[in-house]
Amino acid sequence: MSEFSSSQVVELKHSLAQHHLALLRDKATRPSQFRYHAGVLATLLAAEVTSNLPLRKVSVQTPLEVMECQELDARIAAVPILRAGLGMVTPLTDMIPDLEVWHLGLYRDEETAQPVHYYDKLPATHPPDVAIVLDPMLATGGSASLAIAALKRWKVARIFMLSIIAAPEGIRRVLAEHSDIRIYTAAIDRQLNDRKYILPGLGDAGDRIFNTLPH
């Protein structure tokens, strides 16, 4: 049983998620296939996080009659944490054509394991109604927490975190600093190692997505 309540953390329980996670974790999976499996998992997670977005009533003329339907009634933004978060954007833009995409540049200093904020183009006004932070790996939680803080300064009312896999340490940090945030993940892994990598994990998601592993 998870130590985290379902109101705080949603761990995706889906047969397809388990299937694609297994292939994503496999070190023999090539970058092109890694991107594909990451995209499927991002799609499944996006379906969960968007299941209760605001709707408005509209009248639609079908081929036979007019009927009352519902459409999205919110400005929705995806906020990928560069660079690995870029690998999760396309599934959301496919599902939400009017999605706004705002980028935050954060990386982990390998010496200190602390996040470094190097790029931010968030405007000062007119925040979206909903923002979804994207990062395949929620490890220490440092980058995620900084990203969420930036969105709060922008006055975004509803913020969600989407990660393919998450470490308990990272979840605890994000929730300790942002108790109003809900995290969606395909798997909560065991722990971080002494280098702050997730175990059992899947390696470096950015390197595997963009095919920049050392040779």
Task: List the catalytic residues.
Answer: 108, 112, 204, 207
Please state whether beta strands 115-120 and 130-134 pair in parallel, antiparallel, or not at all (unpaired). Answer: unpaired
CA atoms within 13 A on the CB side of 90: 9
Chain centre distance of CA 50: 12
Q: How many Å apart are CA 83 and CA 56, to the nearest integer? A: 35
- Closest residue by Cα to residue 144 from 128, 153, 154, 132: 132
Chain centre distance of CA 104: 13
Q: Between the CA atoms of 159, 94, 45 and 182, what dihedral angle is there, to the nearest 10 degrees?
A: 10
Q: How many Å apart are CA 57 and CA 59, to the nearest integer? A: 7
